[in-house]
Structure 1
């Protein structure tokens, strides 16, 4: 069961209720994918290897991106499963892609205090880090996957 207070539930704006539900379902789907599908296959879904999207973003996208960022953080902190940075990044990727918003998914690594390799994933669109913002600068980027919005014909 998701531990969310009635007060918090009531305070959710009506237009965000659907987005909360979609994020929860997408986080669960992302977790399932991570558990059953090899990572080498998953990365082929995310974007073009070694490509980055531009740092600019349109003003009409900024509102949605900021709402999505906040909701992914809130929901991922309350899922009954582990919603790691990679799961959050996949969730953000799929929802940004659904809205045809260009973005880049980064995979980074660093050595921790015990000299063990740690990995991290984060998503950026425009100047906004959507997921994985905390400590992302401490990681060396080993993979960039750019998703460029598709032309509509």
Structure 2
């Protein structure tokens, strides 16, 4: 019952963003199970690294923060796995829909305790803000960057 109370305590805009994030998380999770990653990212500009990130306008900054918060909030309540890659793809879709440019990163971290184990992580960024997957992203070596929108 506490989850329902929390939902109804949200503002109307937060509720709309939560529902949109929840549905998009589900669609992105299903898409990752059905389609190749290359297919899902074919419309994005693929780069090895990125250096020219431009700041967002105040309005886009607020919108991007609200979208990121909704994605992280909704991901905590999905009955399916909504890990970092699903969250990054969801952020890309929701922010691109709003005309807010950004990037998402794919990185790896080699486990020092094992010769073969590698951990992967994805995180999204708009301007100088990490939108999803920010916790611990600094430890990962960036392998690929996917950009959407014009900055």
What TM-score do the two structures reach when normalised by structure 2? 0.90
Q: In the alignment, does 2:59 pair up with 1:60?
A: yes
- Kept in 1: contact 2:24–2:90 (CA 8 A): yes
Structure 1 residue 5 displacement after superposition: 2.0
SS of 2:42's partner is helix
- Kept in 2: contact 1:110–1:118 (CA 8 A): yes
1:49 corresponds to which residue? 46
Out of 30, 34, 37, the residue aligned to residue 35 of structure 2 is 37
1:20 corresponds to which residue? 18
For residues 137 and 71 of structure 2, the distance between their equivalents in structure 1, rounded to whole angstroms, comes to: 17
Please give the per-residue CA displacement for 1:35-57, whole angstroms capped at 9, x wherever unaligned: 01112222223x21116462311
What TM-score do the two structures reach when normalised by structure 1? 0.89
Structure 1 residue 69 displacement after superposition: 1.2
Gaps of 5+ in 1: none
Moved segments of 4+, more than 3 Å: none
1:139 corresponds to which residue? 140
Please give the per-residue CA displacement for 1:118-141, whole angstroms capped at 9, x wherever unaligned: 111111000110111011010000
Aligned length: 147
Matching of residues 62-77 of structure 1 within 5 Å: 62-77=61-76
Task: Give me the CA root mean square deviation.
Answer: 1.8
1:7 corresponds to which residue? 5
Gaps of 5+ in 2: none
| Higher deviation after alignment, 20-29 or 105-114 | 105-114
